[in-house]
Amino acid sequence: MKLKTLAILLALSSGALYAQTVDVKDAWARATVPGQKATGAFMKITAKDGAKLVSVTSPVAGVAEVHEMKMDGDVMKMRAVAGGLDLPAGKAVELKPGGYHVMLMDLKAPLQKDSTIPMTLTFKDAKGAETRTELSVPVSAMAPTPGMAHGEHKH
């Protein structure tokens, strides 16, 4: 009886994981200097079936938000993305300097180059089901080489 229950649970969890497949690649966070209270984190996110990135948390920051930078006339403006960042089915969405990015604010300590920070991404699918992806994000002064092993996670 126990084996049958285990098989059912595995089948159910496999279906749930298959229904919400999110791939995160090339994640990194920008290193800071002492006294700096904010920085950005960047990555490429692909949601197989489409989803929204609805929240980000990290114990290194008091506040973590998805932000967008865009030109408003001659002025570059940055603002939080209201309602979550759309991740169209099968299309990679790049969070990068000068565009969409994760803003880490109220930093508790400087982010040291060549260290890593934990980060949790929360996604919501079309049916409203939430899933979380845990990352270990490398800290760098500049974008790492694409395909770098750290900061990649498939969910």
- The label of the residue with tokens 């006294």 reads 35
Query: CA–CA separation, 2 vs 43, rounded Å?
Result: 41
Backbone angles phi, psi at 3, to 5 degrees: -65, -40
- The tens digit of pLDDT for each residue in 84-112 reads 999 999 999 999 998 999 999 999 999 99
More confident residue, 107 or 153: 107
The average pLDDT across 37-58 equals 96
Environment class of residue 58 by beta-carbon count within 10 Å: exposed (0-12), middle (13-18) or buried (19+)? buried
More confident residue, 35 or 9: 35
The two tokens of residue 58 are: 């990290």
Indicate if the pLDDT at residue 23 is higher than 50. Answer: yes
Environment class of residue 60 by beta-carbon count within 10 Å: exposed (0-12), middle (13-18) or buried (19+)? buried
Cβ(52)–Cβ(85) under 8 Å? yes
pLDDT band at 71, cuts 50/70/90? confident
